[in-house]
């Protein structure tokens, strides 16, 4: 029987890609000098990945649902995780921003001006060398094509470019528009606070169910910029520094197909073939197999 690796396989692969990229922060500072700030939810999956993968010792989870405090305390995987209960805009100032940080504002909502205010605060508050990541709903799922542009303008007002039309709203069009707004806000905050725009590292599109956008990068400054070059983030094939997104597609394959492909994919050479499996699915698998659940 075919399988989907786990409930949200694309999200899981994306999470591990980001952890892999963050391993390169050692050119800036030891990883145990970083803290992780995120929205853990009941499962704290990203907290486990960042602690196991990077050894980050200090972690803070901001939780919007204050009625869940007892369950969150019970389910958190490490006693050292600090819980801040409330809306992000109210709780983010409680974080110690004098430390280097990896902050993941992992929303399920579409991009709004409230979220942009959170991003502005985090970028301004973060120390150069810190990583800021934002996930939002891609503003397409459940929204009819003729309503997508007006929906974006309702949430973001005149931040949406005047020259966009309904023709730009097909497929990932609204998600690309959100990314432009997000990037402009983060760059503006970073320039004002640190002297240079944020250096983009991540521009992921994925759709385990709803289409989602994850965008982010590293806070830099004139004195740190050359050191960041030493991290060589661009060597990672999923890092994106421009407008083009890395789309994560996790194809549905059988155990036997997965085992065969993993055996054949290591090393240079043409992509392997399996009769009955589309080449595009094999290509997609080749892009993500190292980060799928069950490979470590």
The domains found in the chain, sorted by start residue, are 4-248 (3.40.50.150), 255-291 (no CATH)
Q: Which of 39, 92, 35 lies closest to 68 in space, CA to CA?
A: 39
Per-residue pLDDT at 139: 84
Band of pLDDT at residue 292, cut at 50, 70 and 90: confident
**Is pLDDT of 30 > 90?**
yes
Query: What is the Cα–Cα distance from 67 to 73, expressed in whole angstroms?
Result: 12
What is the average pLDDT across 166-181? 95
pLDDT (average), residues 33-46: 96
Contact 85, 69 (CB under 8 A): yes
Q: What is the pLDDT of residue 295?
A: 54
Identify the band that residue 262 occupies on the pLDDT scale cut at 50, 70 and 90.
confident
Is pLDDT at 4 greater than 90 in this prediction? no
| pLDDT of 39 strictly over 80 | yes
Show the 3-state SS of the chain: CCECCCCCHHHHHHHHHHHHHHHHHHHCCCHHHEEEEECCCCCCHHHHHHHHHHCCCEEEEEECCHHHHHHHHHHCCCCCCEEEECCHHHHHHHCCCCCEEEEEEEEEEECCHHHHHHHHHHHHHCCCCCEEEEEEECCCCCCCHHHHHHHHHHHHHHHCCCCCCHHHHCCCHHHHHHHHHHHHHHHHHHHHHHCCCCEEEEEEEECCCCCEEEEEEECCCCCCHHHHHCCCHHHCCCCCCCCCCEEECCCCECHHHHHHHHHHHCCCCCCCCCCCCCHHHHHHHHHHHHHCCCCC
**Residue 141 in this model has a pLDDT that exceeds 90:** no
**Contact 101/36 with Cβ under 8 angstroms?**
yes
The percentage of residues in the chain with a pLDDT greater than 70, rounded to a whole number, is 96
pLDDT tens for each residue of 211-247: 999 999 999 999 999 999 999 999 999 999 999 999 9
**What confidence score (pLDDT) does residue 5 get?**
43
Does the structure show a pLDDT above 60 at 146? yes
Averaged pLDDT for residues 249-264:
90
Model pLDDT for residues 90-105, shown as the tens digit of each residue: 999 999 999 999 999 9
| pLDDT exceeds 90 at position 2 | no
* Residue 289 pLDDT grade (very low, low, confident, very high; cuts 50, 70, 90): confident
């Amino acid at each position: 029987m075919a399988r989907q690796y786990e409930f949200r396989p694309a999200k899981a692969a994306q999470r591990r890609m980001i952890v892999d990229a963050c391993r390169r922060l050692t050119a800036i500072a030891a990883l145990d000098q970083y803290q992780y700030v995120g929205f853990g939810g009941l499962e704290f999956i990203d907290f486990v990945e960042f602690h196991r993968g990077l050894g980050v010792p200090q972690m803070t989870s901001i939780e919007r649902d204050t009625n869940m405090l007892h369950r969150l305390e019970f389910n958190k995987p490490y006693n050292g995780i600090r819980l801040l209960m409330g809306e992000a805009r109210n709780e983010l100032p409680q974080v110690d921003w004098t430390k280097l940080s990896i902050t993941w504002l992992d929303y399920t909502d579409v991009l709004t001006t409230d979220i942009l205010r959170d991003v502005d605060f985090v970028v301004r508050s973060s120390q150069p060398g810190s990583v800021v990541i934002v996930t939002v709903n891609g503003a397409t799922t459940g929204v009819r094509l003729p309503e997508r542009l007006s929906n974006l303008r309702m949430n973001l007002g005149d931040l949406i470019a005047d020259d966009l039309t309904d023709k730009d709203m097909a497929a990932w069009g609204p998600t690309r528009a959100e990314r432009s707004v997000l990037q402009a806000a983060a760059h503006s905050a970073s320039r004002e606070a640190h002297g240079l725009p944020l250096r983009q590292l991540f521009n992921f599109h994925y759709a385990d169910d709803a289409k989602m956008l994850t965008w982010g990068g590293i806070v830099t400054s004139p004195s740190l910029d050359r050191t960041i070059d030493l991290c060589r983030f661009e060597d990672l094939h999923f890092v994106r520094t421009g407008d083009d997104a890395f789309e994560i597609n996790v194809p549905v394959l059988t155990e036997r197909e997965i085992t065969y492909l993993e055996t054949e994919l290591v090393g240079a050479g043409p992509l392997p073939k399996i009769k009955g499996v589309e080449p595009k699915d094999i290509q997609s698998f080749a892009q993500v197999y190292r980060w799928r659940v069950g490979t470590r």
